[in-house]
Structure 1
Amino acid sequence: MLRSFQVTNHRSMAQPQELRLTRSRTAVLPAPVTAIHGAAASGKTSLVDGLAHMRDAVLHSVTRWDPYAGPVRRPHLAHADEPSEFVAMFTAEGMPYTYGFRLDNTDVLAEWLHCHPHNRKRVVFEREGDQVRIGATFEAVRYGIGAIAPLVRPNALLLSLTGQLPAEALMPAYRWFAGRLDIHTGPGDPQTVAHRLGAHLTRSPDHAARLLMLLRSTDTGITDLLIAAHDPAYADYLTELDADITGAAAELDACLNSTERARALEQTHGLTVFGLEAELENLRAARDTLYERMVSRRGVGLGLVHEGIDTPFDIADESAATVALLRLLPPVLDALDTGRVIAIDDIDTYLTGDASDQLIQLFQNPETNSRGAQLLFTTRDRTLVDRGNGRSQTRRTTVWQLRRTATGVSELTPK
């Protein structure tokens, strides 16, 4: 669950801009849909890219940033020598957190992680330059944080190091960025789209049937999707993983619906609901990795059957609108299944208004969004925000406006 995101000095966001996904500062739960409307070049992509940059910094600053250069950042051109800052408030494994960091052209100036049990702030760690302070409440796990703190480079994030050297107190926040936040910008490469589509379709017959039903309801003309059979060298492993994923998902649903079942799980296996959720994410990631290795050898074998045409289409033969829809359907359905946050920049650039509206309504409808998934999208089309989904907009959608000032700075305001 993402409650708010604040960014300073990233691309056109020169001044601090805060996006709240709740309808008010005191609201307990965020709205399932957050729409950001703005004209071309108003800063919509800068905002979504800022969230993507924060996630990528957490996941990759240790492994992919040049150890002999400054932190990777994209400041406003008129403020190139001023720091950039990113702050997110989110709930990970049942605990509210605030995480943020500040960068300049040479180092990570500051980094902090706070948790908020019962609305009380507790410091997990606070970093200023090369000094790291561990909160008093976390003295019992000081060794975990304290052991990795001296290993972090001045131009990398301490939380990022948790991906290589796990520290128990930091893992929920790291896992949230790694597995609960999905961001989509640009049109998408057709072959990459085919790989993710194939991975989604082959997980279970239910996945394939639901995606095909949604696809048939749009004006693409596609009536069926064909996928090559699994390579025998991988088939047994994929089948075992799919069975494990199905079993773990069923157990998770049972535990979420019954406190007695959750208590029995912890007593029998020493595993909490959040631990089971993390295990399920690991199984899904392993399955995706194995599938990607298989298709890298022989391709996905994806064929798209159109009404009245005998020969299946290759994805490269499809229109930009169809590829855009095929790109978004798997991550949207995955977000609904797992309660993830998904951010989509310019959702209607390639999709039709009806297709975009259909995706939005999947998040607004409590029946199709029973796990608390969140959709954050940007659009130039105000009518997309106000159209048929307006029946639930007052309760289930927050709307923000972006505009660009005469000085080339983006400003974000609630509507």
Structure 2
Amino acid sequence: MNSFKRESEGADIPLKRFAFDKSSRNGKSEFEVFFTYENKEYQYGFVVDNKRVYEEWLYKRDFRGKDKYNTLFERSYGKVNCGENLKDAKVFTDLVGESTLFLSLISNAKIKEAKNIYNWFLNTQVMDLGNAAIEALITRVLPIKIKDEKYLKSFERFLKAIDIGIDGIRIEEIKHTSSEEDETTYKVYSKHASIDASGYIEIPFSEESGGTQKMFGLYNFLFNCLNEGNTLFIDELDAKLHPLLLRYIINMFHNPDINKNNAQLIYTTHDVSTLTKETFRRDQIWFCEKDKKGISNLYSLVEYKLENDKKVRNDATYNKDYLAGRYGAIPLLREFNILEE
């Protein structure tokens, strides 16, 4: 997304490689993604190191032929060839810098197919809850979003649906006046029904539990993703959440009455309570296994073969079989006495 801008600033490509062997540490890295945007299916990828783009490609699926993709453009060591469906971009092929993605250049030139790809990346959200400042997100984003009546009603229904004891929220607007300009910040309070009297008790959002704060932060991402039909990546979605609440979120994406725009949720987890045939199909379950060299391999349950060279049945007890080690991707724990000298 920032490739075109970064080169103009003289910045290197921000690439982090596999660190545990010399060839990977100093070599090139390849990235590729298949995705759908506005009912069109694309394949986009590139090969880079910190200094230059070596290869780049963009294909568009032709549904008239089985698994056939038409070439929009292909790039190899500085030379870019555009297909007929992207002929408007040919005038830019000699202008792309060696550390700039061609896609980044032509999307800024408002070439439609390129803009579609750019918009998919722009709308795809990645949420790292281990690093996210949830309270800061709430105090900055929520007050602005609450002004939208549709969003507010949906948010209040969500709070009641997940039964966390919050009957509403209040936003306190705080104005700061300086010699240069006025600034407005916000403080969020949650309302709880009083047990021994009528009315409500307000507490600062910062005093809510970690799980409640996380749900406040998650809601904005979930709302946008489901409303617009985007893709949402979340690291450790299960952290601080009850297993039933985790399943509740997953089922939002499975429910066609809620997920009308084909939004997609991709998340990492160590929780096995949702690792069941009732929650997921086999092709929706992927395992990540790290070997003794520190190399991680990703594989799907639907493709995994057991000791007898047979595939996993769709009526298997996935969570119990996983914990028993039948699918791999479990930690190798050795006996250790923490009190032994």
Shift of 1:411: 0.9
* Equivalent in the alignment of 2:122: 178
Shift of 1:222: 1.6
Q: Specify whether residues 198 and 298 from structure 1 end up closer, same or farther in structure 2 by C-alpha distance, changes over 3 A only.
A: same
Q: How many residues align?
A: 283
User: Are residue 209 (structure 1) and residue 96 (structure 2) matched?
Assistant: no
* Equivalent in the alignment of 1:343: 233
Shift of 1:124: 0.9
* Equivalent in the alignment of 1:122: 70
* Equivalent in the alignment of 1:354: 244
> What amino acid maps onto 1:116 in structure 2?
R
| Residue correspondence of structure 1 range 77-116 to structure 2 within 5 A | 77=19, 78=21, 79-116=24-61
* Equivalent in the alignment of 1:264: none
Shift of 1:69: 4.4
Q: Specify whether residues 394 and 130 from structure 1 end up closer, same or farther in structure 2 by C-alpha distance, changes over 3 A only.
A: closer
SS in 2 for 1:80: helix
**Whole-Å Cα distance in 2 between the matches of residues 93 and 370 of structure 1?**
14
Q: Residue 412 of structure 1: which of 287, 298, 303 is its match?
A: 298
User: Are residue 391 (structure 1) and residue 333 (structure 2) matched?
Assistant: no
CA RMSD, Structure 1 to Structure 2 (Å): 2.5
SS in 1 for 2:294: coil
Q: Residue 222 of structure 1: which of 145, 153, 166 is its match?
A: 166
SS in 2 for 1:111: strand
Shift of 1:311: 4.9
Shift of 1:327: 1.0
| Residue correspondence of structure 1 range 323-334 to structure 2 within 5 A | 323-334=213-224
Tell me which protein shows more strand as a share of its residues: 2
Q: Residue 136 of structure 1: which of 76, 81, 84 is its match?
A: 84
Q: Residue 153 of structure 1: which of 84, 97, 118 is its match?
A: 97
* Equivalent in the alignment of 1:17: none
CA deviations on 1:277-321 (whole Å, 9 max, x unpaired) are xxxxxxxxxxxxxxxxxxx93123432112329553333333221
In 2, are the aligned partners of 1:88 and 1:98 still within 8 Å (CA)?
yes
* Equivalent in the alignment of 2:16: 74
User: Are residue 195 (structure 1) and residue 135 (structure 2) matched?
Assistant: no
Q: Specify whether residues 165 and 138 from structure 1 end up closer, same or farther in structure 2 by C-alpha distance, changes over 3 A only.
A: closer
Shift of 1:67: 4.4
Shift of 1:412: 0.9
Q: Specify whether residues 358 and 198 from structure 1 end up closer, same or farther in structure 2 by C-alpha distance, changes over 3 A only.
A: farther
**Whole-Å Cα distance in 2 between the matches of residues 326 and 319 of structure 1?**
11
**Whole-Å Cα distance in 2 between the matches of residues 327 and 149 of structure 1?**
42
In 2, are the aligned partners of 1:69 and 1:155 still within 8 Å (CA)?
no
> What amino acid maps onto 1:86 in structure 2?
F
**Whole-Å Cα distance in 1 between the matches of residues 279 and 271 of structure 2?**
19
* Equivalent in the alignment of 1:18: none
Q: Structure 2 regions of 5+ residues with no counterpart?
A: 176-181, 302-341
Tell me which protein shows more helix as a share of its residues: 1
**Whole-Å Cα distance in 1 between the matches of residues 12 and 173 of structure 2?**
47
* Equivalent in the alignment of 1:265: none
**Whole-Å Cα distance in 1 between the matches of residues 91 and 208 of structure 2?**
52
Shift of 1:219: 4.7
In 1, are the aligned partners of 2:173 and 2:184 still within 8 Å (CA)?
no
* Equivalent in the alignment of 1:271: none
Q: Specify whether residues 162 and 318 from structure 1 end up closer, same or farther in structure 2 by C-alpha distance, changes over 3 A only.
A: farther
**Whole-Å Cα distance in 2 between the matches of residues 64 and 71 of structure 1?**
8
Larger relative contact order (C-alpha < 8 A, sep ≥ 6)?
A: 1
Q: Residue 305 of structure 1: which of 191, 198, 205 is its match?
A: 191
CA deviations on 1:39-90 (whole Å, 9 max, x unpaired) are xxxxxxxxxxxxxxxxxxxx11222468434311110002211211111111
